């Protein structure tokens, strides 16, 4: 009898020149992460290849639609597993990066939950990732404290008064260059989620507080099924109770809106809800239809949730989730308080109130804010509209799942201020990101990678739409959108920024301008700006 084939054990090691992290990445952690890579990396790559094939179909003129092969799932009578007590009421969630000060402030904010973000609001330098994992480890243990250089001290409230912790790892498309498994970069998703669960899984499970995750950038039920298998494996290896790792999926790609039932079904034993990741969703709409001149969006400020394609997306999400017993979470309020201008501040807060009133009336079970000052505003609105822990009883049977409405072209214009504003946001955000800051206040909005992606993708599409025949795109004043207009905006930008005073990443502005030029002039739209920018981070 021949011997059974020997499966080589994968080996993980830090990349050459990477700072030591033995307090987190000891032999046990390295072996655990290597095992995740060995077991799931091939599937991850296959799914990314499938994304490319689907985009090629769209680039050839194809349109997204509901899948014929999964009709039985959409029409079936099934529900997700019951929600844990800690996730029954999620009326206000605050999001932000994972530095110690933010973690403490968010947990103390009065929000129902805090989404600790390793993805769009964190520039993934090695130091930031390690600091984030240590901050969450100490927060779970109840020992996290932070003393600022100013002398101010930050301490956590008692556990009963803290927000429920939910962690967002990076998406399937990203890798972690500082940790190699048999010479290959590990998936950033597996690194972030795996290390967090390894460090905190047992403690959180003992408190019946998770671990809980937010899953970003999914495009299909198959990608959700990969997460389901990964997390079941993590539970088994770490000895955690089956199904204790609960997830919420961000519906922030256009393909995913056509597979919401399927995504819920793939994760039905552990999913708690879906979230309207509106900024990434707008970016995905642009990217999906990058070759469709008839679906070019107007400037970002005109693409609000009352646009038909966004209104239909959010309301279909409510209907789908409530039919299956899951939460339908609303989107982000990116405004931050405007100091020194009470009138402008009140106008901004009025926009927040209107947005949250719309979400509550539509049947959402909770919403997102980016700043602690907005927690009470959003909470008051949902308290008035939602006396119970959620609105699962709001069925929204009036909502029709119509493909054409979900992809309906938007009405609006492109102004010179809107064009130049996109250039400014891209450069300012990229400069800050390259300097290690992934969450940047710009003109009283908290910008992250998702909002910068909208601006960057719009610039590319507006300029390249003129290459595809027909009349060129123009500003609302008749000026043609071309390389000359883009060049003038770039040339004028350094003086404009200098006049605005100090800004994060000021020393990287020239580098950011060059990057934006390369990305915008490229013949193809880069999938994510963070893919190329990541190679410039330490």
Active site residues: 168, 448
Neighbours of 404 (CB within 10 A): 11
| DSSP SS3 for 365 | coil
The closest alpha carbon to 160, from 122, 95, 119, 108, belongs to 108
- Positive/negative CA dihedral, 233, 95, 312, 65: negative
Q: Who contacts 470 (Cβ-Cβ below 8 Å, separation ≥6)?
A: 293
**Contact predicate 321/271, CB 8 Å:** no
In the chain, the largest separation of any two C-alpha atoms, in whole Å, equals 84
**Contact predicate 33/230, CB 8 Å:** no
The closest alpha carbon to 289, from 51, 60, 482, belongs to 60
Cα–Cα distance measured from residue 92 to residue 76, given in angstroms and rounded to the nearest whole number? 31
**Contact predicate 412/448, CB 8 Å:** no
**Contact predicate 280/287, CB 8 Å:** no
Residue 92, phi then psi, degrees to nearest 5:
-140, 125
For the record, the structure tokens of 505 come out as: 């990443």
**Contact predicate 423/494, CB 8 Å:** no
Cα–Cα distance measured from residue 462 to residue 464, given in angstroms and rounded to the nearest whole number? 6
Neighbours of 214 (CB within 10 A): 25
């Amino acid at each position: 009898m021949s011997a059974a084939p020997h499966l080589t054990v994968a080996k993980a090691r830090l990349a050459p020149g990477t700072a030591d992290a033995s307090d987190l990445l000891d032999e046990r952690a390295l072996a655990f992460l290597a095992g995740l890579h060995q077991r799931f990396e091939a599937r991850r790559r296959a799914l990314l290849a499938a994304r490319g094939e689907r985009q090629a179909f769209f680039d050839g003129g194809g349109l997204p639609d509901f899948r014929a092969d999964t009709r039985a799932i959409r029409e079936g009578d099934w529900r997700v597993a019951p929600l844990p007590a800690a996730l029954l009421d999620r009326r206000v969630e605050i999001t932000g990066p994972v530095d110690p000060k933010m973690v403490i402030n968010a947990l103390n904010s009065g929000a129902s939950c805090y989404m600790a973000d390793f993805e769009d609001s964190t520039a993934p330098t090695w130091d930031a990732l390690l600091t984030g994992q240590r901050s969450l480890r100490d927060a779970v243990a109840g020992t996290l404290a932070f003393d600022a250089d100013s002398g101010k001290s930050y301490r956590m409230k008692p556990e009963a008064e803290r927000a429920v912790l939910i962690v967002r790892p990076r998406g399937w498309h990203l890798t972690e260059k500082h940790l190699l498994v048999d010479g290959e970069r590990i998936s950033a998703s597996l690194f972030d989620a795996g290390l967090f669960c390894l460090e905190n899984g047992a403690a959180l499970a003992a408190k019946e507080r998770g671990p809980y995750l937010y899953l970003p950038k999914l495009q299909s039920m198959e990608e959700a099924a990969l997460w389901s298998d990964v997390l079941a494996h993590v539970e088994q290896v770490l000895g955690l109770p089956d199904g204790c790792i609960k997830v919420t999926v961000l519906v922030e790609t256009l393909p995913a809106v056509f597979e919401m039932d399927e995504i819920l079904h793939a994760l039905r034993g552990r999913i708690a809800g879906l979230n309207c990741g509106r900024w990434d969703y707008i970016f995905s709409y642009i990217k999906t239809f990058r070759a469709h001149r008839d679906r070019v969006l107007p400037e970002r400020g005109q693409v609000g949730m009352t646009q038909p394609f966004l209104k239909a997306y959010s309301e279909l999400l409510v209907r789908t989730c409530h039919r299956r017993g899951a939460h339908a979470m609303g989107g982000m309020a990116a405004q931050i308080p405007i100091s020194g201008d009470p009138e402008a501040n009140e106008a901004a807060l009025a926009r927040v109130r209107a947005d949250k009133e719309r979400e509550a009336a539509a049947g959402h079970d909770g919403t997102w804010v980016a700043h602690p000052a907005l927690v009470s505003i959003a909470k008051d609105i949902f308290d008035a509209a939602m006396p119970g822990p959620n609105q699962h009883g709001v069925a929204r049977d009036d909502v029709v799942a119509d493909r054409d409405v979900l992809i309906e072209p938007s009405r609006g214009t492109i102004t010179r201020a809107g064009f130049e504003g996109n250039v400014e946001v891209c450069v300012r955000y990229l400069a800050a990101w390259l300097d290690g800051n992934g969450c940047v206040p710009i003109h009283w909005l908290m910008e992250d990678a998702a909002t910068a992606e909208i601006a960057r993708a719009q610039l590319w599409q507006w300029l390249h739409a003129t290459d595809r025949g027909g009349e060129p795109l123009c500003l609302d004043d008749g000026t043609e959108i071309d390389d000359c207009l883009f060049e003038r905006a770039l040339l004028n930008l350094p003086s404009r920024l200098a006049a605005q005073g100090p800004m994060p990443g000021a020393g990287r502005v020239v580098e950011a301008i060059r990057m934006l030029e390369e990305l915008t002039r490229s013949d193809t739209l880069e999938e994510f700006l963070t893919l190329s920018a990541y190679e410039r981070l330490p």
